[in-house]
Every structure is written in C-alpha cells, then in structure tokens.
Amino acid sequence: MGRVVSKQWRAQRKRDYYYRKAKEEQYRSRASYKLLQLNERFGMIHPGDTVVDLGASPGGWSQVAVELVGEGSRVFALDMDRFAPIDGVTFIRGDIRDADVVAGLLELIPEGADVVISDMAPNISGNYSYDHARSIELCEHALRFASTVLKPNGNFVAKMFFGDLSKDYVASVKRLFYSVNVHHPRASRKTSSEVYVIGLGSRKPRSNPRTS
C-alpha cells in the first residue's frame, strides 16, 4: 500500500503546475511562488531590506528573497537541517528557540531585520488536531523571534495550518503589527488547510532575546 501511495503522490507532483514551473525556472521549491504571490499582494519585502528566512531549507523562499531585496542586501536563512549554498544568503544552522542562536544572528545584524518570513511546518502525523496545534506552536516561535529581531515598522509572514487555535494566534499578531491579513495564495493547493498570516508594520521596539 505504501508503495502505491508513493507512486501516486509522485505522479500527482509531476502534473502539478507550480512543481513543473519551479523546475523550469530553477527554484528549489514550488513554495517559491507562494512568497512571490504574497509579496505581490502585500508588499512585505522591498529592495535594500534585510530578511531572515526561518525554516529555510531547501531554500525556495531564500531564493525569492534574494531576488526581491537586490544586490548588496542581506538574506539570512535559519534551519536545523542542511542548506545548500545560495549566492547572497548567509545560512545559520540552528534552532530559533535557542537564545544563543538568536543572539548570534543579532551579532551579524545588530541593527535588526526589516522582514521575517517563515514557511515552517510540522511533520505531518495524519491527526489534524495534533498537526494544527504543532503548526500554531511553530508560528508562536516565529512571532516571538520576529519581536526580537524586527526593526520598528518591520514586516512578518508565517505559514499556519488553519483550525480552532488560529483566531487567538491572529489576535496575538494584531497586537504586534499595525496591519494583519490572513491569505491563501494561488500557489497553495486548493485542498490545503495552510494559510499565511501577514503582519505589516511592527508596533513595538525589539525585545531582548535574553529576557523574552
């Protein structure tokens, strides 16, 4: 049964428009188009911005971020997994829940970041309630990280599996940003429960990673 499912999944992926488009345009992931579409709609990333990409592997969002910020700007990719090099991207291997990792990043960008983006998702267990709760937990870590590193008026994007905990999470984002939107980009599969929470214009000064 597992082999049949695997073959069916591979066949469906090969027929997927964004998967084929990513191969043709040399993006590492079909998720690249999600960020492109989100940025086209909400304008989170601008030329000259410093961007931090959480859960960056395999690098599809980092590729897009480099294109959007332009030459000479800085993109930092964080992940616990390995990450093949990308021109213009500084990779830091570590866990955003680790205060030492956050402090190390801040040493590289003491002035802070303009944008934090997160396409992090939990390993799927098949139990939606559990997967949703794990997704919200990752979103909370991303938001806490953003509150630490974002400059005033910085922007934030995080992937969330929609469910009964979503309302409270969106409310917490609204407390930190002037404008908040929840969006399902075209590149997300229609059957997917994933949505993206976009926070524009951070309200508060950056917090101290050693005390937050």
Q: In what order do the strands lie in the sheet with 113-118?
A: 89-93, 74-79, 50-54, 113-118, 150-161, 194-202, 177-183
* 29-202 belongs to CATH 3.30.1310.10: no
Sketch the domain layout of the chain as residue ranges.
29-202
Q: Kindly give the confidence (pLDDT) of every residue in the chain, 212 residues in length, as a single tens digit, with 9 standing for 90 and above.
A: 344 445 554 545 555 777 787 778 778 888 999 999 999 999 999 999 999 999 999 999 999 999 999 988 899 999 999 999 999 999 999 998 899 998 999 899 999 999 999 999 999 999 999 999 999 999 999 999 999 999 999 999 999 999 999 999 999 999 999 999 999 999 998 889 999 999 999 997 666 555 44
Give the separation between CA 106 and CA 110, rounded to whole angstroms: 5
Give the separation between CA 36 and CA 45, rounded to whole angstroms: 10
**Catalytic option among 21, 159, 174, 190:** 159
What sign results for the dihedral spanned by CA atoms 104, 84, 158, 49?
Answer: positive
CB 78 within 8 A of CB 101: yes
Q: Is 14 a catalytic residue?
A: no
